[in-house]
Amino acid sequence: MNDAARLGRRQRRRWLHRLALGAGASILALGLVRTFVGWVFPVASGSMWPTLDVGEWVFLRWDRSLPQRFDLVAFRSESGDALVKRVWGLPGEPVLIEPSGDVRVRSELVRGAGRPALVKVYDSRLHPVEDHWSHGGTEVDPWRRLELPDDGVVWEIDSREVPERLDACLLRHHKGVHDDRLAPDGTIRYGSVTVHDLCLSADVFVVEGGGRLRFELREQGDRIEFSLDLPQESGPSSGVVRRSRGSAHVEHARATFEVPIGRWFRVRFQNIDDEISATLDEQPPVTCVYRQNTPHERVMAGDGRVDLEVVSLGERAYLGADRAQVRFRGIVLQRDIHVPAAGAYGVGRELKLGPDDFYVLGDDPTRSRDSRALGPISTTRLIGRPAAVVWPPRAWRRL
């Protein structure tokens, strides 16, 4: 064997030696990470959408410290699989899932930062308004669709010669709102469970001052309205939130907003967990809290008894203007998380959690098996906290 061959053999041996050392070090490092830090697990269901999606892989950090409300936690199922849910109820607290889909803890609706984000169900930038919204009436239609060079497709109402408070002066979302969701590819995935709490937002351009802007939401038997007086020139004006059932109207709150004329501004109006909020751009909102919605009355067959039905029917979201010329674009409709009252634990009857128990729910409760069916999760079953989505690369994000 010549010198060149012997040199090549020695180099190959050194390379194989280094490869073996590197592989061993990698295996040792992975073993240490898996033992002391955490590991990756696949997402097998859509119960935590949109926080987690099927097919993603999550890095779970081993951590058995006590979580806070709305923290994400991982625990072992009865079959030994790792499940991820969100904490809603803490040790010692009474929890109740209401027929309306709301969650009460210590008899109070659960509000505050950390709740699952609102779910988008419609966006006019992705789906034509005319396919999802009705406009006009049998005798008058003050609406028209415009394509403008700088603003794209807008919907304009000119109701300056139309009597006030006609439904013809409103765009009306006619699809109903269930546990729908707008997928990343822009398609609407329709659900079947009616959702009550909504948020409606849109860009608004007042062509000519005067009149009144109107945003409305319906929940159960109530019509909830935000109306904004439109000044002749840019400046302060009054915005009012009121709630109506039939001919009875209750004004809940009033605030002053700086209203621009001749430029776009965004209006956001929502009714989430019996709390109404409306604002323009980044201005301080007008808000109010009310006790509960008015259920529909239903006469039971035969004996004339009246039952109260917790349901929201028909058209649920509206926007438009009275005695005004206004344009709209970027119309977005969102819904709140809705927890169906189905299960044996905390449903229909308050459940008092034990000193080491947590009440957990999926972020998509209509598709989640959680504490409603599984019961409270004890601290002994907690294994860690989801830290990040690590696969696929396009979905990488911290949690």
How would DSSP label each residue in 242-271? EEEETTEEEEEEEEEEEE-SSSEEEEEEEE
Q: Kindly state the tokens that stand for 279.
A: 């604002």
Q: What is the pLDDT of residue 13?
A: 63
**Mean pLDDT (the chain, rounded):** 88
Distance from chain centroid for Cα 91:
26
Distance between CA 345 and CA 336 in Å, rounded? 22
Q: What is the pLDDT of residue 90?
A: 97
Distance between CA 146 and CA 130 in Å, rounded? 12
- The answer to whether domain 119-335 has CATH 2.40.128.720 is no
Which is nearest to 358 in space by CA: 85, 111, 107, 63?
85
Distance between CA 327 and CA 157 in Å, rounded? 6
| pTM higher than the cut 0.85 | yes
Phi and psi at residue 29, in whole multiples of 5°? -65, -45
Which is nearest to 117 in space by CA: 319, 314, 270?
270
Give me the sign of the Cα torsion angle 257, 262, 266, 267. Answer: positive
Q: Kindly state the tokens that stand for 124.
A: 């006019």
Q: What is the pLDDT of residue 313?
A: 82
Which is nearest to 88 in space by CA: 336, 310, 357, 271?
357
Distance between CA 114 and CA 69 in Å, rounded? 8
Residue segments in the chain with a per-residue pLDDT below the cut of 50: 20-21, 23-36, 306
The string of pLDDT tens digits covering residues 204-261 is: 999 999 999 999 999 998 999 999 999 999 999 999 999 988 677 889 999 999 999 9
Dihedral of the alpha carbons of 66, 72, 76, 79, in degrees to the nearest 10:
160
> What top-level class would CATH report for the domain 40-112+342-398?
mainly beta
The proportion of the chain whose per-residue pLDDT surpasses 70, expressed as a percent, equals 87
